Amino acid sequence: MHRRLMVKQLVLATGAYLLLPACRENEHRSSLTLHNLKIEADEEALLAELAETILPKTDTPGAKDISAHLFTLVMVDDCVKKEDQQKFMRGLKDFRKAAKTRLDKPWEETTPEQRHAFVADLDKAKKDDGDLHYFYSTVKRFTVQAYTTSQYFLTKVQVYELVPGRYHGCVPLKPAPQTTL
């Protein structure tokens, strides 16, 4: 249960991982070795459910489908300052405690509806400098970033053109039909 996430080639592994949404089935997932963070398997699972609560699977993919929680871990591990990594880890523990207090049971045993209610309140709560808020806003920021830069989003929602092959300086703005997500 308390297995440590291990991988040798973090960058390569995560790069490949993010390209292969089919790998999301937990049993077959290659795991991450993090350089700085110590993340237990249950903490990774919590992050996955939190990301999924922020961006749930509907008719369209959710956060888990694009491994947003793993992207979050890679970013916090590689691109965040040490003191903020510590804040993130403290916040993660605070989050678990706060959820348990509020929902009266461990995070793992809650329903998607209960998780939504808890996270929606957290999202609306007044921002402060506390660890819990830092943790939550960091997870949300990286989850949204993972989602809006995912292959799904950039090919189906807002199409990214690698090779536009044209430039027209001034054309009428045609209101694009609202895409649904």
Partner 1 sequence: MGNNNQFDAIVIGSGISGGWAAKEFTEKGFKTLVLERGRNVQHLKDYPTTNKYPWEFPHRNQVPQADRDENPVVNRCYAYKEDAMHFFVKDKEHPYVQEKPFDWIRGYQVGGKSLLWARQTQRWSDYDFEGPARDGFAVDWPIRYKDMAPWYSYVEKFAGISGNRDGLAALPDGEFLPPFELNCVETFFRGEVAKNYKDRHVIYARCAHLSHPQPVHLEQGRAQCQNRNLCQRGCPFGGYFSSNSSTIPWAQKTGNLTLKTDAVVDSVIYDDAKGQATGVRVLDAHTKQATEYFAPVIFVNAAALNTNLILLNSTSKRFPNGLGNDNGLMGKYVAFHNYRGHVSAECDGFGDSIFDGRSPTSAYIPRFRNLVKQETNFLRGYAAGFSAGRGRINNNEGIGQELKNNLASTKWGGWHVGSHMMGETIPKETSTVSLDSKKDEWGMPLLKINMAYDDNDEKMVNDYHEQLSEMFAKAGFKNIKTNDSKQAPGLDIHEMGGVRMGKDPKTSLLNEWHQLHACKNVFVTDGACMTSTSTQNPSLSYMAFTARAVDHAVKELKKGSLV
What is the binding site for partner 1 (CB under 8 A)? 10-11, 14-15, 18-19, 53-56, 58, 60, 74-75, 78-81, 116, 119-120, 123, 140-141, 144-145, 147-151, 153-154, 157-158, 160-173, 175-181
The CB-of-5 to partner 1 minimum distance in angstroms stands at: 16
Element (H, E) at 53: helix 41-54
Q: Reduced to 3 states, what is the DSSP secondary structure of residue 102? A: helix
Nearest by Cα to 61 from 106, 111, 18, 12: 18
Output phi, psi for 4, to 5 deg. -85, 140
Cα 30 → chain centroid: 17
The CB-of-40 to partner 1 minimum distance in angstroms stands at: 23
Distance CA(92)–CA(46), nearest Å, equals 9
Nearer to partner 1, 1 or 162 (CB): 162
Nearer to partner 1, 1 or 165 (CB): 165
Nearer to partner 1, 41 or 144 (CB): 144
Nearer to partner 1, 45 or 157 (CB): 157
Judge contact between 12 and 52, C-beta under 8 A.
no
The CB-of-169 to partner 1 minimum distance in angstroms stands at: 3
The CB-of-15 to partner 1 minimum distance in angstroms stands at: 4
